[in-house]
Structure 1
Amino acid sequence: MEKVNLNEKFGLFSEHWTPKIVGELNGQHVKLAKLQGEFVWHKHDAEDELFFVVKGTLSMEFRDKTVTIEENEFLIVPKGVEHRPVATEEVWVMLFEPASTLNTGDAESELTKTKLDRI
């Protein structure tokens, strides 16, 4: 058992839209990611996702609305709901999702990451 310092972990990488695994519990991965720009529209048919904003402001676009998530807030996107994260400036997020979750869900793109680094 070791504690995790989020600032230290975020300091280990600079690329955007490339989640890093920092923990695992009950079949779930705890991931950190830096986001900037627009992601792809996608959904996860079998998994819910939790986005916790550590630094910055994240806009989560849905087909019928946009939800703004500020630092120290989180949003759970239910399985099957199409969404697109957008970050006008760099945002640091912590994600909780099943280990099987692919970052782009049902949308294959150049942003799809099939193998994630553990840091």
Structure 2
Amino acid sequence: MNTVRAPKAIAASLVDLWSPHVIAEIDDSYVKVAKVQGELGWHAHADEDELFFILHGRLRIEMEAGNVELGEGELYVVPKGVRHNPVAEQECHIMLVERKSTLHTGDQVTDKTRSVAEQLQGLGS
């Protein structure tokens, strides 16, 4: 795929909350965008780091060792194996960079969990 993308605009156009969409691939990783509000739920990714970049709004990443507060234009990498819970008090648009093997809600399955197939629906458009 060799297409110019506008992550901020794509994230703003999304309807479903906590439903990431793959917008690009980089080697063994996906670049995803999502619109979020409320909380996703506590989970961990045993073997993968997870990069959060804030396109719009604010996001708190709760972790057992302490919380990280992110604003627009800021990023944070949750290290593999760290239990975390992303929380947005107001609507927030995020970009994620994750290995292709990363499961959406890691070691937990909830009503918010999206399969890789669901996340890939936007890749060709």
* Structure 2 counterpart of 1:118: 122
Secondary structure in 2 matching 1:45: coil
TM-score by length of 2: 0.90
> What whole-Å deviation, never above 9, does each CA across 1:45-103 have from its counterpart, x for those lacking one?
01000000000000000013111011000000000000000000010000000111111
- Name the CA distance, whole Å, in 2 between partners of 1:92 and 1:18: 11
TM-score by length of 1: 0.94
Consecutive aligned runs of 4 or more in structure 1 exceeding 6 Å deviation: none
Letter in 2 for 1:66: N
CA contact (8 A) 2:37 2:90 kept: yes
Query: Per-residue deviation at 1:11?
Result: 4.1
* Structure 2 counterpart of 1:64: 65
Structure 2: runs of 5 or more not aligned: none
How many residue pairs get aligned? The number is 119
RMSD over equivalenced CA pairs, Å = 1.1
Letter in 2 for 1:30: V
- Name the CA distance, whole Å, in 1 between partners of 2:7 and 2:23: 9
Identical-residue share of aligned pairs (%): 38
* Structure 2 counterpart of 1:99: 100
CA contact (8 A) 2:61 2:67 kept: yes
CA contact (8 A) 2:43 2:105 kept: yes
* Structure 2 counterpart of 1:27: 28
* Structure 2 counterpart of 1:5: 6
- Name the CA distance, whole Å, in 2 between partners of 1:7 and 1:14: 14
- Name the CA distance, whole Å, in 2 between partners of 1:83 and 1:7: 24
Letter in 2 for 1:112: T
